[in-house]
Amino acid sequence: MKYFTFISKLMSTWANLGLQDSASPLMEQLIFFHDHALLILVMITVLVGYLMFMLFFNTYTNRNLLHGQTIEVIWTILPAIVLLFIALPSLRLLYLLDEINEPSLTLKSIGHQWYWSYEYSDFTNIEFDSYMIPTNELSTDSFRLLDVDNRVVLPMNSQIRILVTAADVIHSWTVPALGVKVDGTPGRLNQTNFLMNRPGLFYGQCSEICGANHSFMPIVIESIPVNYFIKWISNNMNSSLDDWKQVLVS
């Protein structure tokens, strides 16, 4: 459901070697940690490469050097310190990803072969299936293998809890721009929490090989302001009530 035309669309593009632009605080933290770890890895690579390169030009030897206790202590303690600089931010981020902060809304996602089902647990009778739009039915502004017939509409600047499970085999509900990747396992409910800090369309896909059409079950989230979301919910609830009335009358 489109309420404005300046909506941004986040997805991987051709020749995109880096991460997608973040649309949530969690993804921003993931990007910061990625850059932090990458800087340490670059420094280690340059140092080791320099030492290996200098071996080709070093002609000096010391026949009396049997062992060096000082250098052995240094090259044992230094890697441990480097690992601490990587491990501590990583552990902090893991706890942030698992924390559920009084969610304003709960969304349940069920993986099937090969589509997604969604339920808005806080409301009655709001549930739907989301299938990929076939290539021959795409409109001119749609994206091949990414657009769906029913988008997940969620409010921005609100804490969203998502419950993920599966009906048949293991799936994985993944939206890179939000920093969310949750495995859907039959018979289990996994959960995570996220907040979208801007409006837009955020694209994702199943990230667990689940069969022949694994590549054809995309995810599309439409982030809209809260007042528009309330209108969308009320419209869907009214239509659901009308459908139930027609069923009861018939």
DSSP state of 21: P
Q: What is the C-alpha R_g of the chain?
A: 25
Reported as a single tens digit per residue, the pLDDT across 155-168 is 999 999 999 999 99
Q: Measured between alpha carbons, how far is 241 from 75 in angstroms, rounded to an integer?
A: 70
- Alpha carbon distance 178, 30 (integer Å): 10
Chain centroid offset of residue 159 CA? 15
Q: Report the alpha-carbon distance of residue 174 to residue 217 in Å, rounded.
A: 11
Question: Is residue 240 pLDDT above 60, yes or no?
Answer: no
Please name the CATH architecture into which domain 105-248 falls: Sandwich (2.60)
Q: Output the average pLDDT for the chain.
A: 85
Q: Domain locations in the chain?
A: 25-58+66-98, 105-248
Q: What is d(CA 97, CA 46) in angstroms, rounded to the nearest whole number?
A: 32
Beta strands 105-112 and 9-10 are unpaired
Q: What is the pLDDT of residue 239?
A: 59
Question: How many whole angstroms separate alpha carbon 164 and alpha carbon 182?
Answer: 7
User: To 10 degrees, what angle do helices 69-98 and 25-55 make?
Assistant: 160
In angstroms, the CA 50 to CA 10 distance is 40
Confidence of residue 49 (pLDDT cuts 50, 70, 90): very high
d(CA 149, CA 115): 11
pLDDT of residue 66: 72
Q: Are 193 and 160 in contact (CB under 8 A)?
A: yes
pLDDT at 22: 85
Query: Position 61: which residue type?
Result: T
Instruction: Please write the tens of the pLDDT for every residue from 116-127.
Output: 999 998 887 888
The total of other beta-carbon atoms located within 10 Å of residue 5's CB is: 5
